[in-house]
Amino acid sequence: MIASMDLNASPLPEDDEDSYESHVEHYSAPKEHVESAVEISRREREERRKRLKQDRPDDHPVHVSPPPVRDHFYQNRNPKFYDKSRIPPGWLDCPSAGQEIGCIIPSKVPLGESYNDCVPPGKRYSFKQVIHQQRVLGRKLGLVIDLTNTSRYYQTPDLKKEGIKHVKIQCRGRDAVPENVSVNAFVYEVSQFLQRQKSKKYILVHCTHGHNRTGYMIIHYLMRSQSMSVTQAIKIFSEARPPGIYKPDYIDALYAFYHERRPEMVVCPSTPEWKRSSDLDLNGEAVADDDDDDDDGGPTTLPKSHETDVVLTNDDILGDEIPQDQLESMRLFCYQTLKLNVGVRGHAQFPGSHPVSLNRDNLQLLRQRYYYATWKADGTRYLMLITVDGCYLIDRTFNFRRVQMRFPCRHPIEGIGDRTHHFTLLDGEMIIDTLPDSQKQERRYLIYDMMALNHVPIIEGWDDPYVPRTHEGLLKWKYAQMNSVDFLFEIGSDDHQHLFLYERGRKKLMEGHRVEFRDVSDPPPSFSGKIIECSWDLDQQVWVYMRIRTDKSTPNDFNTFKKVMRSIRDNITEEIVLNEINEIIRLPMYADRIKIDSKAHLQTNSVRRR
């Protein structure tokens, strides 16, 4: 089986406005002069300032950061003079919360009581009001997820007193959509909370205004927990929290991430009136707010967009990090599926099946049991765990990284995922193909084996069970010059080379062995401390450097080394292998099996054509 995918897709950044430092001037009308549009705008702005000051009683102190002091209600775009007690622009008139989406309530950020002097009594929205409002509606909060880029808006101890868990996932609100790692953390937190609760409790999700970052995260959760399109998920959020996401780049990023084409009918709503800044530019136009909470004062950098002309390599790191708790639970699932006991290293050891090199002894196994032959791809070994939430590539260090793919079920079943595989575990190799016509590179995942299908272990195979770790009956063949060993390479204090293998979990120095770095520009010391793959030069009796194994953290075991050397000495050539196969397929056991498999293949193709 071959699955073709684009593993390099990442959400696209948004091109926001440049930084703008507020500049306030007092308008003084000249005599016998007709006001220009700019002067009218400045006058109206000054009138708005006065009205805002009237809404705030003068007898209450204003808590501001040290000088220089700026007007509290004016946006200050210079972080060096950032007023920590300033309420977010547009917050006062922004609706407090939306309708529930399942058990999720989108909301603007509640402000602590320290902001009371800056907020008229009728517009205050602290966690006291939040908890009270939700109780009136018959809802009990159990979790608050904070997506703002600051911690200045409220204190969390009050939530703990109410038995409400607080999770901080810090996301910038300007110049970039939330990172994939943050999205993964959000989806995991929501999923775990809903799975573990004994009685129904609700989740309050907020950024600054509860629209863009909040909507982006909730839509990701809907997409990963249910079978729906991006358009459907956007519609659900916009109806619960009007007008929904109003930043076009957030909308575009969602469609790009899930590989869906944005319909022409999907139009990004305009910026709400309450969000338009009170600051005006020199043309009298409203300056859009950066919505970035506390900026660090440094220059804003945009994430790199997906490059189509990047050269793909097997050393590329694919996918995104996942939360540590999720990593541990997925490791446990793999161990339970393969019926492995937890050893000294816990669940940290890669459980995949490892083949052994073909030699003259195990060559006889081909006559004793059924074998299927497949191409020995030169790529990167990965297990793949498919869930409704996405796919997870599992490397040789037993680390999981999420990639955006879904595998539809041929025969949909009721339950989680409906039309999507959920907890299907595969074994395979990630390779890079170059298309002959366009010379475009594509990643392909070659699936060699299956260990679980929708939660059900299937390690008892038709002929042989799936054997974790070293499998003496799983054979691999390479040309003699392509047989290789992975060493830990180090340069000692005496500037001499040292090659290490592992034996019983400890480093084993291979005395008398050395490696030559042919056609390599970097000096040998630059490889020190790295796992390097080397082939054996039989004529020169020396190891030859091939590549750095970035996918491995440990060298080969000493037993693996002995088997590779045995394969090299036996020197089973292509001619020997083909002659052996030609004799074997004439044996009755193989001849009958080939007939059975051929009939089954023809029947399967006939059903597909219907």
CATH code assigned at 534 = 2.40.50.140
Domain-terminating residue out of 419, 437, 466: 466
What integer pLDDT is reported at residue 345 of this predicted model?
57
pLDDT at 290 over 70: no
Query: How many Å apart are CA 525 and CA 496, to the nearest integer?
Result: 10
Average pLDDT over residues 48-73: 42
What per-residue confidence (pLDDT) applies to 509?
A: 96
- Residues 191, 255: one domain? yes
d(CA 310, CA 313): 9
Rounded to two decimals, the pTM is 0.73
Residue 23 lies in a domain: no
Evaluate whether residue 378 is within a structural domain.
Answer: yes
Rounded Cα–Cα distance for residues 165 and 142 (Å): 6
pLDDT tier at 314 (50, 70, 90 boundaries)? confident
Whether 243 has a pLDDT exceeding 60, the answer reads yes
Residues 10-19: b if buried by 16+ CB within 10 A, e if exposed: bbbbbebeee
pLDDT at residue 96 is higher than 90: yes
Residue 64 neighbours by CB under 8 Å, 6+ apart: 72, 83, 84, 85
Distance CA 401, CA 181 (A): 10
Of the residues 252, 274, 296, which one is the last residue of a structural domain? Answer: 274
Q: Among the listed ranges 139-148, 380-389, 424-433, 599-608, which one has the minimum average pLDDT value?
A: 599-608
Shared-domain flag, residues 120 and 249: yes
Give which of 338, 373, 331 is closest to 460, Cα–Cα. Answer: 338
d(CA 353, CA 337) in angstroms, rounded, equals 13
> Do residues 376 and 394 both lie within one domain?
yes
Domain around 151: 104-274
Specify the pLDDT at position 36.
53
What is d(CA 450, CA 458) in angstroms, rounded to the nearest whole number? 7
In a domain, 182, yes or no: yes
pLDDT confidence of 106, banded at 50, 70, 90? Answer: very high
* pLDDT level of residue 479 (50, 70, 90 thresholds): confident
Q: Is residue 555 part of a domain?
A: yes
Q: What is the pLDDT of residue 561?
A: 95
63's CB contacts (< 8 A; 6+ apart) are: 85, 114, 117
Bridge partner list, 515: 543
Q: Is the pLDDT of residue 600 over 80?
A: no
Q: What pLDDT, on the 0 to 100 scale, is given for residue 562?
A: 94
* Beta strand spans in 222-363 (E): 353-357
**With 0-12 CB in 10 A as exposed, 13-18 as middle and 19+ as buried, what is 75?**
buried
CB 105 within 8 A of CB 113: no
Are 424 and 547 within one domain?
no
Predicted pLDDT at 216: 98
Average predicted confidence (pLDDT) for the chain: 81
Band the pLDDT of 42: cuts 50, 70, 90: low
CA distance 212 to 249: 10
Binding residues for GTP: 381, 396, 427-429, 476-478, 547-552
What tokens were used for 16? Answer: 């926001």
Contacts of 384 (CB under 8 A, 6+ apart): 391, 392, 393, 394, 425, 426, 427, 428, 445, 447
Tally of structural domains, the chain: 4
Q: What is the pLDDT of residue 20?
A: 30
Cis amide prior to 323 (ω within 30 degrees): no
Please state the rounded mean pLDDT for residues 148-157: 92
pLDDT at 147 over 90: yes
pLDDT band at 86 (very low <50, low <70, confident <90, very high): confident
Higher pLDDT, 276 or 138: 138
503 occurs within a structural domain: yes
Q: Is 78 helix (H, G, I), strand (E, B) or coil?
A: coil
Percent of the chain with pLDDT over 70: 76
- Same domain assignment for residues 381 and 498: no
Q: Indicate whether 532 and 506 sit together in one domain.
A: yes
* Higher pLDDT among residues 273 and 598, named by residue: 273
DSSP 3-state assignment of 26? coil
DSSP state of 169: -
List the single range of 124-138, 196-210, 336-350 with lowest mean pLDDT: 336-350
Decide if 281 is inside a domain: no
Q: Is the pLDDT of residue 282 over 60?
A: no
Based on the fold, state whether residues 486 and 413 are members of the same structural domain: no
pLDDT over 80 at 513, yes or no:
yes
pLDDT at 340: 87
566 has pLDDT over 80:
yes
Spatial distance between the Cα atoms of 47 and 54, rounded to a whole number of angstroms: 11
Q: Decide which of 66 and 508 is more confident.
A: 508
- Please tell me the predicted confidence (pLDDT) of residue 412: 57
Lowest-pLDDT choice from 76-80, 216-220, 349-353:
76-80
Positions at the binding site: 381, 396, 427-429, 476-478, 547-552
Q: Is 25 contained in some domain?
A: no
Nearest Cα to 344, choosing from 166, 519, 505?
A: 505
pLDDT band at 245 (very low <50, low <70, confident <90, very high): very high
**Token representation of residue 243:** 């007008």
Final residue of a structural domain among 466, 500, 520:
466
Most confident of 2-11, 285-294, 481-490: 481-490
Three-class DSSP category at 507: strand
Question: Are 329 and 270 contained in the same domain?
Answer: no
pLDDT for 13 equals: 40
Residue 88, token pair as written in the block: 């977010």
Q: H helices within 439-573, ranges in order? A: 558-570
| 407 in the same domain as 362 | yes
**The pair of three-digit structure tokens given for residue 160, joined into one six-digit string:** 């703990």
What are all long-range contacts of 479-484, with beta carbons under 8 Å and residues at least 24 apart?
Answer: 479/574, 480/538, 480/567, 480/568, 480/571, 480/572, 480/573, 481/535, 481/538, 482/535, 483/357, 483/535, 483/536, 483/564, 483/567, 483/568, 484/533, 484/534, 484/535, 484/536, 484/546, 484/564
What does the alpha-carbon distance between residue 212 and residue 414 come to, in Å, rounded to a whole number?
33
Bond preceding residue 11 cis, omega within 30 of 0:
no
Long-range CB contacts (within 8 A, 24+) of 95-101: 96/125, 96/129, 96/130, 96/133, 97/130, 97/133, 97/204, 97/210, 98/210, 98/240, 98/241, 98/242, 99/239, 99/240, 99/241, 100/139, 100/202, 100/240, 101/218, 101/222, 101/236, 101/237, 101/240
Q: Tell me the pLDDT tens digit for each residue of 174-214.
A: 778 999 999 999 999 999 999 998 899 999 999 999 999 99
Using a pLDDT cut of 90, give the percent of the chain over it.
52
Place 244 in a pLDDT band, splitting at 50, 70 and 90.
very high
80 pLDDT more than 80: no
Do residues 462 and 490 share a domain? no
CB 165 within 8 A of CB 303: no
Domain CATH number, residue 177: 3.90.190.10
Instruction: Return the minimum-mean-pLDDT range out of 220-234, 282-296, 329-343, 387-401.
Output: 282-296
462 vs 255, residue with greater confidence: 255
Active-site amino acid positions: 207, 376
Q: What is the pLDDT of residue 532?
A: 97
Asked if 452 and 333 sit in the same domain, the reply is: yes
- Is residue 44, in this structure, part of any structural domain at all? no
Q: Are residues 443 and 494 in the same domain?
A: no
Residue 607 is predicted with a pLDDT of 57
pLDDT computed for residue 296 by the predictor:
43
Measure the CA–CA gap between 79 and 294, rounded to whole angstroms: 8
